[in-house]
């Protein structure tokens, strides 16, 4: 198992010009490996609450495979990834090796059996979906979970829950313009409701600053060598630098409004709803 897939496996959208490719894959071209809104620490906390050891784990849209490597390292009973992009699937397969299975497919229609998983993980992918697609993916996660199974997500949130609607609309428009994806981040209350509407019980919620392009976050997430690699790639590529600076300006403009948010919910036993744990401070 390796956290770094072979370099001859191209990134998704590698044939798309930097100016029009989705923002997260542009950051990957720059050498960024942690693409989660709340950073690696929030993912680690989420995975800890998901209780991975000995569990049958399904990951939806694993992207570069950074979280896949962490999941497999936690010694689950099994690991299965589902990704619609063949290049992403190939990269994740190279990361997990013989410790897991990677399938090409849709997050909303995985083809997996009912109640076959103890944990379903999804990061930074529901944010990119409209309301109907969000609901369909969460319903699919609930379908494949066994009773008592956990659904863990790490997404982009907005704060506070009563954010001004006009400001929220402008934030979404500017974000979509910067990252070239029609991203739809939601408030903590809305993320919680999305899971509860699928019959899940939210056990844990926490947030972290959305600091994807801040040097302090990159040093923590990527290490000194990784941060230096990103800086070198950005400095020597004019088009890449212009696109990342565009994203950075938008992230800075709305840094007080956006957060990384992680939630873990469980599927209750038939006919039963247990009381959730108290949410983490700052949720």
Tell me what percent of the residues of the chain surpass a pLDDT of 90. Answer: 80
CA 75 and chain centroid, separation = 21
- What 3-state class would DSSP assign to 149? strand
- State the pLDDT at residue 17: 86
167-176 residue pLDDT tens:
999 999 999 9
The CATH number of whichever domain residue 179 belongs to comes to 3.40.50.150
Q: Which residue has the tokens 């229609």?
A: 109
For the chain, what is the domain count?
Answer: 1
- Whether 278 shows a pLDDT value over 50: the answer reads no
Give a yes or no: residue 143 inside a domain.
yes
Contact at 8 Å (CB) between 124 and 66? no
Residue 32 belongs to a domain: yes
Whether residue 200 is contained in a domain is answered as yes
Domain encompassing residue 162: 23-266
Torsion-angle region of 252 (φ positive above 0: left; ψ -120 to 50: alpha; else: beta): alpha
Between helix 66-73 and helix 39-50 the angle, nearest 10°, is 40
Return the SS3 of 57: strand
pLDDT in tens, 45-66: 999 999 999 999 999 999 889 9
11 domain-assigned: no
What average pLDDT score do residues 2-14 get?
60
DSSP 8-state class, residue 116: -
Reply yes or no on whether the pLDDT at 3 is more than 60.
no
Buried b (16+ CB within 10 A) or exposed e, 39-64: bbbbbebbbebbbbeebbbbbbbbbb
Residue 240: is its pLDDT beyond 70? Answer: yes
């Amino acid at each position: 198992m390796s956290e770094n897939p072979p370099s001859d496996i191209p990134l998704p959208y590698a044939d798309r010009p930097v100016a029009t490719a989705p923002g997260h894959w542009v950051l990957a071209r720059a050498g960024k490996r942690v693409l989660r809104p709340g950073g690696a620490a929030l993912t680690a906390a989420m995975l800890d609450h998901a209780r991975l050891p000995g569990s049958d784990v399904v990951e939806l849209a694993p992207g570069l495979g950074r979280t896949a490597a962490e999941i497999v390292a936690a010694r689950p009973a099994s690991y299965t990834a589902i990704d619609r992009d063949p290049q992403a699937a190939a990269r994740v397969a190279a990361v997990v090796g013989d410790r897991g299975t990677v399938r090409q497919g849709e997050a909303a229609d995985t083809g997996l059996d009912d109640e076959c998983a103890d944990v379903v993980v999804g990061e930074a992918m529901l944010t990119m979906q409209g309301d109907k697609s969000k609901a369909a993916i969460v319903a699919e996660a609930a379908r494949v979970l066994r009773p008592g199974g956990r659904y863990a997500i790490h997404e982009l949130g907005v704060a506070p829950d009563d954010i001004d609607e006009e400001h929220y609309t402008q934030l979404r428009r500017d974000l979509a313009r910067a990252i070239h994806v029609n991203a739809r981040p939601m408030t903590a209350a809305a993320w919680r409701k999305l899971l509860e509407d699928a019959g899940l019980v939210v056990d844990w919620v926490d947030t972290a600053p959305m600091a994807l392009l801040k040097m302090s976050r990159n040093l923590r997430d990527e290490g000194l060598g990784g941060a230096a690699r990103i800086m070198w790639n950005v400095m020597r590529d004019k088009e890449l630098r212009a696109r990342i600076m565009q994203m950075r300006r938008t992230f800075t403009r709305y840094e007080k409004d956006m957060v990384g948010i992680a939630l873990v919910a469980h599927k209750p036993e038939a006919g039963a709803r247990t009381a959730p744990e108290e949410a983490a401070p700052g949720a």
